[in-house]
Structure 1
């Protein structure tokens, strides 16, 4: 298919990330990733309305005997719960899904995380096919096998590592993505430059207008470069014992904001995940400068780029710094030494920092 890019994830679990327009209609390609006779298509109402029929038609044409069921949830982070997880397992039970069944995740990060956790747990693990339809999922959450649901106490506290058989990213779906969700995905794209590749930050800065205008060639290149960065780090560190933790740059702050707002990014006027990560990256850069690890100028540069892409760079009004700090203490990235952050020495060079003094973190939070 024209304009299709392939990124290989190697190492412990090898699979392809296929990127290009029109892939959801390629039933033969999708069917090659479904080994057994049962499949559960997991999606949300917004995405299912647009794309579920296309995926189902392609699969049924390529695999006429496939027993295919749907599990569709309302859109939003607030749906990524243990209750929805249980309902999805019930859907697999009703389908009679066997050990060679496949869970197909059609949607953004919420759907991918939930469906992945379901696939990880049904009969101790069945196949997962990721079909991301948001920019954020294409460049981040669909890749690498991190699956989870949220608890009221914190984001992604219950989950498992479960690698997909493949990630098939149909970039044509980005045409229907709301502007806010496109910008949220760009935050994760910027993250790869911030932690691995300062030259990529320059590339993004020069093409900010084209990215926001959804130029297909520029978006395709940004997605492929981001996926390659993630594939490289996942191949080195599948279970996040070392280098992969750097992908959490900005996430300790960002998750605290999301949790304190009750995951209200979709329905309640709070920040969504990408927006919270954008703020979190700026705060992490400021914390790096406050600890004398990195130049303040790099934090300012990062903030300008994110602002140019239409993303927030400050903590929303009304959030208490002390409450945010308390959320961080329960973050799964904390350890016995205390708070753990991904900080940077300068743009493009991140590292893990444990035992960061809480008073300095609180000062950064108060400065907003």
Structure 2
């Protein structure tokens, strides 16, 4: 069963502007899907249909096998959480705690459960301690985190983000991308709209290209960005990594390769070619995710065993993982782009210790194994806890 199916969806605004024209798409359970397109391509209008803010004029939207209708909007909105592009459109309560508790309170949950969900959600987004702060006193990035916490507190299976990186500085963007990965690793299906090709190409499992309200193309990022005609026809640009790759080919820095690079690691691998060198090792320490009790569920005595290791670099990804690294007095070398940074260090022969929250530990091992498979090389890795 697909998480979301959109079938022949069309929508026109009262002034006659047709925003969507027979859109068809499907989102797989547990996957990361990016809806990519320039401003005015219909991305926001499409997203307003995914949790029933807009109802189809023609066509259907199906969530977890149930078509969206006026009769099941409460269920839809507890299943699909929508985070608006502008957090000011979502935050309205006098304090952060009031805002985050609004959704779960409307689900008629017991007070203790509401308190638990508010605490967990704020911790996940790194906003613990801001409970009594009025939202209008927060920065744009902080507001965005509170808006996300409000959705997480309702525990939806599917999370939909409209332009999640807009208005954020580079560090804020990196932290939000890591949060998206952490939520996906915990089992959430993630859908984002964006016009950021660098983000979409490196992050998504599948991309849909929207142009003038229609689906122009769909596919894996490597399929989309290896097709010059598709990119030009949709008024987008190639990701920076792909542009550098094309320049390298054009200048004969390396011969043409079958695999288009979507990350710096891919690009480096194309440059290294078949060069063999002794790789380092990546140790992965799994820290319980928030739903498993977070840092409170950690066996600190067991965790201290990692202090006997002598890594060249350390990294921490995920809220609880970063907290545990600090508990051990470890200052992480990598707190963003952790997996690619760890792989890069290992390629150069360094040993890396990575703390990873919950399912993100599986993400580390999958990415390392994927690199080994594609490159024909071997980076050793070991899960310690």
- Shorter-chain TM range is 0.3 to 0.5
TM-score by length of 2: 0.32
Instruction: Tell me the TM-score normalised to structure 1 length.
Output: 0.33
